[in-house]
Structure 1
Amino acid sequence: MRKRRDLSRAVLAAVTAAVLGVAGCDAVGGDAEGPSGTEARSARPSPKPTPAWDRSPASIAAVGDSVTTGFDACAVLSDCPEVSWATGSRADVDSLAVRLLGKAKAAERSWNYAVTGARMADVPGQMAQAALRRPELVTVMAGANDACRDTADAMTSVADFRTQFEDAMSTLRDALPKAQVYVASVPNLKRLWEQGRTSAMGKQVWKLGICPSMLSDPDALTAAANERRATVQERVEAYNKVLEQVCAKDRRCRFDDGAVYDFRFGVAQLSQWDWFHPSVNGQARLAEIAYRTVTN
């Protein structure tokens, strides 16, 4: 009888071990209970999530205004896209596209849809054009022309500016949910007035209609003139707050944290013709700011 009981116990132990082996239970040793089912799955390390931001996109499209077209950088009152901070090919600019893609690939995989004189209301249409290329990164620099109107009263309202930028982002997202967006802040227009008013030529070009709300009567320091410029400056700062807030809602959008606004454009960084738009050197500095923001 004792031998039979010993044999039965041995058989039971062997069957139990086989069942546990098939069930895949984890042995933890001692008297501890091993995790099973959901607990077992949660105990295993999770795969590393794919980062939302890619520091080395394979293609770039640019939207915006005259700054991104290289206006007045190479010749008076003319676009010069080859020196664009975003997609230009000139070595002395070393554009964002060239820095990220290399010169050969930048020529094939970067596109510039910016238009001189464009306002934020025009950006959704530019976004739609850019989306057709399916870029992995879209750069946005717009807003200066919303402040640069014939009068301060004619500036785009902050509410409309917000709606237009949200529309631009929605247009892109509907077509390209995973495209990344770099958003540059609107430059400090008052700082540009302070620099340019020292140039007789610059002030003559300003009379042709460059940013009248800020640049008209450049030597006037009356209370009314100072108030007008302060009003324009406050609107620019409000636009930048909108850009920051809307961008922050999108996990694949990066704002430059005001780096373009804070940049102190000097004589070397301003067009020798209008003392307002970036020179070739100024375009290179904008490319540096963009590259830092995209790759950090």
Structure 2
Amino acid sequence: MRKRSHRVRAVTALVAAAVLGAAGCDAVGGDSPGGPGGQARASRPSPTPSWDTTPDSVAAVGDSITRGFDACSVLSDCPRVSWATGDSPEVDSLAVRLLGRQRAATHSWNYAVTGARMADLPAQMARAAARRPQLVTVMAGANDACRDTTAAMTSVADFRARFEEALRTLRRSLPKAQVYVASVPNLKRLWSQGRTNALGKQIWKLGICPSMLGDADSFSAAATLRRDTVQNRVEAYNAVLKEVCAKDRYCRFDGNAVHDFRFGTAQLSHWDWFHPSTDGQARLAEIAYRTVTAKEPVS
């Protein structure tokens, strides 16, 4: 009996050791020590990065909207009312809301260019990265849809490739800089609002977004198809922005908040009735601030 008891205890100890050894491997992971050659290959998942809701510097890239085009005077930029970096108290830009007015004056930069398309974003991003900002804002895509004809619109594939290139450009020098991406506005809604103003329609004839705004009062089958084609392309662009941003650990898309915002006549430029007015810029700043400071990203 005593010998048998010793044998039972020995077997129990061996089983316990085996169980503990297996548990130890599971706790460390599949690449724990003990593989071929006895080499340790510890592999632990990287922790989820924390989004900083209080970045202390902001750089903006994009197009005429971020330049405040037509918000102050006809066919002119007005960066002081930019939703991203402007210093106008009427707007309270994202930079002012995040940094305070005094710090925003020295720690925010606007590299957006009126007329820019997504193909121009990589070069803008390189300039922005040189400032080493903690947050970069992106609003681009409207000009990719606003072409002379629908056939001239940027393809969805090219739009995606250039946006991905812009993010790679940033990541080469600033791997952890945060990025806020605004959706492309609903161009068809802007047409439906602006077409009620005679002056605005005259300005449109100077070449503002002809693919959407051309023959503004026509409801022919061809005109309707043209506008729907532009709108469908805008929605495809926004899907790209969402998908590409979701793959970047430090990128937040606005969840189509800009696209879904119902710009009224008070939010449209009283020069061209298409670009945001000062009030419209303030609404864009609110959307951006809400997205950047949210504890969780918009789904």
TM-score range, shorter chain: 0.7 to 0.9
Rounded Cα–Cα distance in structure 2 between residues aligned with 1:224 and 1:199 = 23
Query: In structure 1, what is the equivalent of residue 117 of structure 2?
Result: 119
Rounded Cα–Cα distance in structure 1 between residues aligned with 2:113 and 2:290 = 25
TM value normalised by structure 1: 0.84
> 1:168 aligned to 2:166?
yes
Rounded Cα–Cα distance in structure 2 between residues aligned with 1:62 and 1:55 = 17
Conserved 8 A contact 1:71-1:79: yes
Which residues in structure 2 correspond to 1:1-296 (within 5 Å)? Answer: 51-296=49-294
What code does the residue aligned with 2:240 have? V
Rounded Cα–Cα distance in structure 2 between residues aligned with 1:88 and 1:157 = 32
Conserved 8 A contact 2:63-2:114: yes
Identical pairs, percent:
75
Conserved 8 A contact 1:63-1:126: yes
Please give the secondary structure, in 1, of the residue aligned with 2:65. helix
Rounded Cα–Cα distance in structure 2 between residues aligned with 1:51 and 1:108 = 27
1:51 to partner: Cα distance: 3.9
Deviations 1:173-206 (A, max 9, x none): 0110000000000000000000010000000000
Please give the secondary structure, in 2, of the residue aligned with 1:202. helix
Conserved 8 A contact 1:136-1:179: yes
Conserved 8 A contact 1:52-1:251: no
Conserved 8 A contact 2:49-2:249: no
1:150 to partner: Cα distance: 0.4
What code does the residue aligned with 2:99 have? L
Deviations 1:236-294 (A, max 9, x none): 00000000000000010000000000000001000001000000000000000000000
Unaligned stretches of 5+ residues in structure 1: 1-32, 43-48
TM value normalised by structure 2: 0.83
What code does the residue aligned with 2:235 have? E
What code does the residue aligned with 2:217 have? D
Deviations 1:68-87 (A, max 9, x none): 00000000000000000000
What code does the residue aligned with 1:235 have? R
Conserved 8 A contact 2:245-2:251: yes
Please give the secondary structure, in 2, of the residue aligned with 1:66. coil
Rounded Cα–Cα distance in structure 2 between residues aligned with 1:278 and 1:50 = 36
1:52 to partner: Cα distance: 2.9
1:211 to partner: Cα distance: 0.1
Please give the secondary structure, in 2, of the residue aligned with 1:62. strand
Rounded Cα–Cα distance in structure 2 between residues aligned with 1:275 and 1:52 = 40
Conserved 8 A contact 1:58-1:101: yes
1:50 to partner: Cα distance: 7.4
Please give the secondary structure, in 2, of the residue aligned with 1:91. coil
Conserved 8 A contact 2:193-2:265: yes
1:53 to partner: Cα distance: 1.0
1:131 to partner: Cα distance: 0.4
Q: Which has the larger radius of gyration?
A: 1
Rounded Cα–Cα distance in structure 2 between residues aligned with 1:117 and 1:281 = 22
Rounded Cα–Cα distance in structure 1 between residues aligned with 2:48 and 2:159 = 33
Conserved 8 A contact 1:71-1:277: yes
Query: In structure 2, what is the equivalent of residue 4 of structure 1?
Result: none
Rounded Cα–Cα distance in structure 2 between residues aligned with 1:52 and 1:201 = 48
Rounded Cα–Cα distance in structure 2 between residues aligned with 1:110 and 1:76 = 26
Conserved 8 A contact 1:137-1:179: yes
What code does the residue aligned with 1:284 have? A
Please give the secondary structure, in 1, of the residue aligned with 2:137. strand
Rounded Cα–Cα distance in structure 1 between residues aligned with 2:206 and 2:270 = 15
Q: How many residues align?
A: 258
